[in-house]
Amino acid sequence: MEREIEARRPAQSNSDGLSKTAKVFFGLNIFQVIAIGGIQSAMIAFGNFTFVSKGGLGPGRRVYMALFLLAVLYSCFLCLFAVKRQNFLEILAFVLQNYAYIIYSGIQGKFLPYYSTSRNTMAFID
């Protein structure tokens, strides 16, 4: 007497690959990782991380920037798993994580003049 109720699922593709929408979504994520990775790497390489008393950002700021870079790289894997499994909650988590990246990038943008090695030549602003 027990009936099996099937959950409504998206149509499965015939191929083992990703759908066109999933490929575009993942491609945009790869672009984001490359863009943010390049900017963060440049900021880490050329930033003024001397002590705050000497006009720099402090040596600990480099660690925060490296952790942010690793978090962006992790989002690439989160995106791949979300589109591969077609899991709505993982896609929602990915979108919320990207909003957090935008907010943190805005905070970092406020300090861009301090990332120059010389206080007089704002390298990232000019």
Q: How many CB atoms lie within 10 A of CB 101?
A: 16
Its domain, for residue 94, covers 20-115
124: pLDDT confidence band, cut at 50, 70 and 90?
very low
* Residue 125 pLDDT grade (very low, low, confident, very high; cuts 50, 70, 90): very low
Does residue 60 sit within a domain? Answer: yes
Question: What are the pLDDT digits (tens) for 101-113?
Answer: 888 877 877 766 6
Alpha-carbon gap, residue 66 to 101, rounded angstroms: 14
Banded pLDDT at 89 (limits 50, 70, 90): confident
pLDDT in tens, 26-80: 888 888 888 888 888 887 887 777 787 777 777 888 888 888 888 888 888 888 8
Alpha-carbon gap, residue 22 to 2, rounded angstroms? 37
Does residue 96 lie within any of the structural domains?
yes
Residue 92 lies in a domain: yes
- Structural domain contains residue 7: no
Q: Which residue has the tokens 């409504």?
A: 8
Query: Does 84 reside within a domain?
Result: yes
Cα–Cα distance, 19 to 26 (Å, whole number): 10
Domain annotation covers residue 45? yes
Give domain status of residue 120, yes or no. no
The tally of domains found in the chain comes to 1
Determine the pLDDT at residue 118: 52
The pLDDT confidence band at residue 14, using thresholds 50, 70 and 90, is low
Is residue 3 situated within a structural domain? no
